[in-house]
C-alpha cells in the first residue's frame, strides 16, 4: 500500500539511488516485485525457508561496503535507508558472470526458480574478505536455498569450477574488488557504491530520511529487530503497517567489555556472534554449532534480542545464553533496569517485559579462562530445523572438582529452562562417572516435556539424558568418552 503519507526511504538499488515511498513495514520483496516490477527476485515460501528471495544488502563501513545475503521476504523497507540493495537484475552484465556460466555448464539449473537467489548467495561469497570459495563455504552459501529440480551436487560442482577459476587467476587473496570486477565476476558500479552511499548520509552518518518518530505516525508501530520471527508470525499485518525498526538505534549494536561483563548489543546477529573473539574463547566450537542453527541468510538477520524476546522454548541462542547466566539490560524511556535471563520467563511466551520496554543489551559475566561451554541440538532434520531438544552446559574445574556449572535445556518445558537444581548439585562434585549419572538423574526431575510433532515426551527425556553425557564428554575429553556410557 503506497499512500501520500508513506514515509520516503533513500537507498542505493543496484547502480542508482532511489527514494521509496512505502509503509515502513513493507517487505523488501514486495517493494521489488510489486512496486519496482523487478521480478527476478522470486517469491517462494515467504517464511525464510526456501531462499528464492535472497538479495544482497550492503552497509557502509569506513571506506568499504560490507555485503550480506539476506531473505528479502523478512526484511522491512525502512531498514534499507542509507544501504545498498543488490538484486539479480544488478548482476545482468554484458556476459554471464563466472558463477552464472558455471551453473549453466554444470547443469545446475532447470526450471530456474531457485537460481537467482542461489546466484546472489554465491556472489556474496565474492564480497567477503578474503574470498573463500572452498566447498565448506559454498555449502554455507547454499544452506538457505531449496532447489526442487536439479539437486545440489551440480551446484557444488559449479562452486568448484568458480573456486578453480579464482585460484588460477590468483583473485580473492587478498580481496581486491577491482580484480573481481576486471575478471567479470562483479559489476563495475560496485566500485562507486561507497561514494554513492556517503551522498545519502546525513552529516552525523545516519541515513537521510524520516526519523523513527515519523515512521511511527503512519500507524501502529510494531517492533522489528531482524524480522525473522515476527514476519513469519505476522507478515501480512506488518507489510501494510508502520514498524519500529530497532536496527536504527545504533546503541543497540556492537559488543564491548564493561563492568565485568561482555555486553552484547541486543541487535547482535547470530553470524556476528560466531566471529566474536571473546565469545570464541568461551565457546571454541561456535562456528560448528552454527551449522545446525538456521541458514547463513537468516543468521545474517536473526538477533540475540529477538531470540530472547520471542520466548520460544527451543530458541537456540536463548539456551546458550541461559547456560552463560546472561543478564538483560532493559530500557523504558530514559530508565534502565537489569533482569537475569533465568527469571525472565514466567510461562509459555509470558515475559517479565512491559510493552514499552526494550532489551538493549545481553550481558555475560566475564569468566575465568578455564570456563568452557558446549551446545547440543537434535532436530528432525539436520539443518534449517528447529530443535526437538537443545541444551547447553558451562563448566569449570578447580583442583579436580567441579567449581562452576550453568545448565539449560529447550523443548522440555513451556519456557527455555535453566536447570538450576541440577547445576547447583554438581558444584563441588568429583569428576567421575557417578557425577554424570547424578546430573542425568536430577535433570529428569526438573524437566517436564510433552509429546508433540517433534517427538514424544519419553524421546525428549532420552535426548536430555544423552545430551548431558555428550556435554561431559565434549567438555572433559580427558576424563570421559562416549564409550564409558554405552
Residues that bind ligand FAD (CB under 6 A): 47-49, 223-230, 232, 246, 266, 293-294, 298, 301-303, 305-307, 309-310, 315-317, 358-359, 384, 386
Least distance (Å) between residue 103 CB and ligand FES: 9
Residue 46 is classified by DSSP as: S
**Residue 298 binds: one of ligand FES, ligand FAD, none (C-beta under 5 to 8 A by kind):** ligand FAD
Euclidean distance between CA atoms 362 and 344, whole angstroms? 12
**Dihedral over Cα of 211, 245, 129, 182: its sign:** negative
Q: Does 43 bind ligand FES (CB under 6 A)?
A: yes
Q: CB count, 10 Å around CB of 174?
A: 9
Give the SS3 label for residue 478: coil
Q: Which of 87, 109, 154, 300 binds ligand FES (CB under 6 A)?
A: 109
Within 21-152, where are the H helices?
Answer: 28-30, 98-105, 115-126, 135-142
- Among ligand FAD, ligand FES, none, partner that 316 touches (CB below 5 to 8 angstroms by kind): ligand FAD
**Min dist. Cβ of residue 375 to ligand FES (A):** 25
Closest residue to ligand FAD in the complex (CB): 306
* Residue whose CB is less far from ligand FAD, 142 or 359: 359
Helices (DSSP H) in 7-53: which residue ranges? Answer: 28-30
Q: How many CB atoms lie within 10 A of CB 336?
A: 11
133 exposure class (CB count in 10 Å sphere: 0-12, 13-18, 19+): buried
Q: State in angstroms the smallest separation of the CB of 260 from ligand FES.
A: 41
Each residue 242-281 as x (binds ligand FES by CB under 6 A) or -, in order, gives: ----------------------------------------
Measure the CA–CA gap between 226 and 247, rounded to whole angstroms: 8
Residue 83 C-beta: closest distance to ligand FAD, Å: 17
Q: Based on the shown chain and the rule CB under 6 A, indicate whether residue 147 belongs to the binding site for ligand FES.
A: yes
Residue 446 interacts, among ligand FES, ligand FAD, none and using kind-specific CB cut-offs from 5 to 8 Å, with none
CA distance 311 to 318: 8
Out of 48, 116, 411, 449, name the contact with ligand FES by CB under 6 A: 48
Distances (CA, A) of 177 to 62, 130, 171: 16, 11, 9
Q: Which of 23, 51, 172, 207 binds ligand FES (CB under 6 A)?
A: 51
Which whole-number Å values give the CA distances from 314 to 106, 149, 349, 429, in the listed order? Answer: 39, 32, 12, 29
Site for ligand FES in 370-399 (CB under 6 A): none
- The reply on whether position 440 binds ligand FES by CB under 6 A is no
Nearer to ligand FAD, 146 or 169 (CB): 146
Q: Nearer Cβ to ligand FES, position 98 or 227?
A: 227
Q: Which does 272 bind (CB under 5 to 8 A by kind): ligand FAD, ligand FES, none?
A: none
Stretch that binds ligand FES, among 40-48, 84-92, 182-190, 260-268 (CB under 6 A): 40-48
* Binding partner at 217 among ligand FES, ligand FAD, none, C-beta below 5 to 8 Å by kind: none
Which residue stretch of 43-51, 80-88, 128-136, 402-410 sits at the interface with ligand FES (rule: CB under 6 A)?
A: 43-51
Q: Which residues pair with 17 in a beta bridge?
A: 12
Number of residues that bind ligand FES (CB under 6 A): 23
What sign does the dihedral 173-176-181-182 (CA atoms) show?
negative
Query: Could you tell me the three cell numbers for 139?
Result: 555449502
* 484 contact partners, CB below 8 Å, separation of at least 6: 433, 473
Binding partner of residue 70 among ligand FAD, ligand FES, none, CB cut-off 5 to 8 Å per kind: none
Q: From ligand FES, ligand FAD, none, which one binds at residue 148 (CB under 5 to 8 Å depending on kind)?
A: ligand FES
Distance CA 209, CA 201 (A): 9
Cβ pair 147, 114 in contact under 8 A: yes
How far apart are alpha carbons 370 and 364 in whole angstroms? 16
372: closest CA among 354, 395, 390?
Answer: 395
Give the shortest CB-298-to-ligand FAD separation in angstroms: 5
Dihedral, CA of residue 55, residue 104, residue 294 and residue 37, to nearest 10: 30
Q: Which does 286 bind (CB under 5 to 8 A by kind): ligand FAD, ligand FES, none?
A: none
Region near ligand FES per CB under 6 A, out of 48-56, 387-395, 405-413, 463-471 = 48-56
**Minimum distance between the CB of residue 30 and ligand FAD, rounded to whole angstroms?**
17
User: By C-alpha distance, which of 222, 223, 234, 226 is closest to 46?
Assistant: 234
Report the residue number, 38 or 467, with the smaller CB distance to ligand FES.
Answer: 38
Angle at the Cα of 289 (from 287 to 290), degrees rounded to 5?
A: 65
72 φ/ψ angles, rounded to the nearest 5 degrees: -75, -10
Q: Which residues bind ligand FES (CB under 6 A)?
A: 43-46, 48-53, 71, 73, 109-115, 147-150
Amino acid at each position: 500500500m503506497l499512500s501520500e503519507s508513506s514515509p520516503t526511504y533513500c537507498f542505493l538499488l543496484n547502480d542508482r539511488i532511489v527514494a521509496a515511498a512505502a509503509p515502513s513495514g513493507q517487505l523488501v520483496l514486495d517493494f521489488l516485485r510489486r512496486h519496482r516490477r523487478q521480478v527476478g527476485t522470486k517469491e517462494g515460501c515467504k517464511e525464510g525457508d526456501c531462499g528464492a528471495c535472497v538479495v544482497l544488502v550492503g552497509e557502509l563501513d569506513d571506506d568499504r561496503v560490507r555485503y550480506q545475503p539476506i531473505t528479502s521476504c523478512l526484511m522491512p523497507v525502512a531498514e534499507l535507508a542509507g544501504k545498498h540493495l543488490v538484486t539479480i537484475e544488478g548482476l545482468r552484465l554484458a556476459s554471464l558472470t563466472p558463477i552464472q556460466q558455471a551453473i549453466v555448464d554444470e547443469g545446475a539449473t532447470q526450471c530456474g526458480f531457485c537460481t537467482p537467489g542461489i546466484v546472489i548467495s554465491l556472489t556474496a561469497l565474492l564480497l567477503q574478505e578474503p574470498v573463500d570459495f572452498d566447498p565448506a563455504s559454498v555449502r554455507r552459501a547454499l544452506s538457505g536455498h531449496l532447489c526442487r529440480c536439479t539437486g545440489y551436487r551440480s551446484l557444488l560442482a559449479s562452486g568448484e569450477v568458480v573456486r578453480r577459476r579464482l585460484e588460477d587467476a590468483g583473485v580473492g587473496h587478498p580481496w581486491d574488488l577491482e580484480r573481481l570486477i576486471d575478471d567479470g565476476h562483479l559489476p563495475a558500479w560496485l566500485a562507486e557504491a561507497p561514494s554513492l552511499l556517503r551522498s545519502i548520509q546525513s552529516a552525523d552518518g545516519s541515513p537521510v530520511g524520516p526519523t523513527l518518530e515519523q515512521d511511527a505516525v503512519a500507524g501502529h508501530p510494531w517492533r522489528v529487530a531482524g524480522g525473522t520471527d515476527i514476519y513469519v508470525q505476522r507478515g501480512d499485518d506488518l507489510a501494510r503497517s508502520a514498524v519500529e525498526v530497532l536496527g536504527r538505534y545504533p546503541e543497540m549494536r556492537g559488543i564491548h567489555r564493561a563492568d565485568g561483563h561482555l555486553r552484547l548489543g541486543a541487535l547482535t546477529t547470530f553470524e556476528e556472534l560466531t566471529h566474536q573473539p571473546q565469545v570464541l574463547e568461551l565457546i571454541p566450537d561456535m562456528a560448528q554449532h552454527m551449522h545446525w542453527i538456521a541458514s547463513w541468510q537468516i543468521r545474517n538477520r536473526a538477533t540475540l534480542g529477538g531470540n530472547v524476546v520471542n520466548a520460544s522454548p527451543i530458541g537456540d541462542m536463548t539456551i546458550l545464553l541461559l547456560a552463560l547466566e546472561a543478564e538483560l539490560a532493559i530500557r523504558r524511556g530514559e530508565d534502565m533496569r537489569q533482569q537475569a535471563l533465568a527469571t525472565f520467563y514466567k510461562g509459555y511466551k509470558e515475559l517479565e517485559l512491559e510493552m514499552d520496554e526494550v532489551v538493549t543489551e545481553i550481558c555475560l559475566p566475564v569468566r575465568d579462562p578455564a570456563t568452557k561451554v558446549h551446545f547440543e541440538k537434535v532436530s528432525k532434520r539436520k539443518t534449517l530445523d528447529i530443535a526437538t531438544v537443545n541444551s547447553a552446559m558451562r563448566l569449570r574445574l578447580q583442583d579436580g572438582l567441579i567449581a562452576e556449572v550453568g545448565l539449560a535445556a529447550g523443548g522440555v518445558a513451556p519456557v527455555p529452562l535453566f536447570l538450576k537444581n541440577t547445576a547447583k548439585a554438581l558444584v563441588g562434585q568429583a569428576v567421575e562417572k557417578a557425577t554424570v549419572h547424578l546430573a542425568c538423574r536430577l535433570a529428569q526431575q526438573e524437566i517436564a516435556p510433552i509429546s508433540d510433532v517433534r517427538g514424544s515426551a519419553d524421546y525428549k527425556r532420552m535426548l536430555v539424558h544423552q545430551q548431558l553425557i555428550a556435554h561431559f564428554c565434549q567438555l572433559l575429553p580427558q576424563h570421559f568418552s562416549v564409550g564409558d556410557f554405552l
